[in-house]
Structure 1
């Protein structure tokens, strides 16, 4: 089985925080439907997390004289940040892509990348 990361890079944190319980349930339902479709074709979600509070994020970059530079907040100049991810295992990439299409009902963008084991 190959491992992949399925990421949500365009979810808006402020929109999520101001959303109702019913709005949140729509996201949970789409995520659960993805899990169901994936498992029906032999894949599985093996991990993942929702990422919250981008206002508490710290970005570390290499500053002048090669010293670490820590800044507040995410690096991107945008309200859109990575809001969560699933770690998925699946034998067939096309099956994963097909199942992940249901996630666009709740996430503006879904990005899939293979995981390289070290």
Structure 2
């Protein structure tokens, strides 16, 4: 099987996260440490990742077809779920990565796993 890169996008309700007590936040941090360790054990290589600040800190940049660039403050979507963090993972076993990401999710959280376009052959 060929190794590919996948972006794992972690979505959740920022209000739920803000309401978590310190014990649950520490447990979530531990879940991410375990995720990283299990990825390494199973041959997945995490090559990048970050927790993101609240969506209210985002800056949106748009270019309409017939006008100048528009810059506004975020978030992009009026929805409870926002992008909260990401991992960039190299793996040759997508099915196993899906299982590990699934184990990382809590109630009211969603993860999106998206392949990265490989431009190395260009």
TM-score w.r.t. length of structure 1: 0.86
What's 1:74 paired with? 75
Q: 1:3 aligns with which of 2, 5, 12?
A: 5
What's 1:26 paired with? 27
**Alpha carbons of 1:60 and 1:16: their partners in 2 closer, same or farther (altered >3 Å)?**
same
What's 1:17 paired with? 18
> 1:26, 1:106 within 8 Å by CA — same for their partners in 2?
no
Q: Which runs of 4+ in 1 moved over 4 A?
A: none
> 2:51, 2:86 within 8 Å by CA — same for their partners in 1?
yes
**Alpha carbons of 1:101 and 1:79: their partners in 2 closer, same or farther (altered >3 Å)?**
closer
> 1:4, 1:114 within 8 Å by CA — same for their partners in 2?
yes
> Greater strand share, 1 or 2?
2
Shift of 1:106: 6.8
What's 1:35 paired with? 36
Is 1:94–2:66 an aligned residue pair?
no
Give structure 2 stretches of 5+ with no counterpart.
Answer: none
> Greater helix share, 1 or 2?
1
CA RMSD of aligned residues (A): 1.8
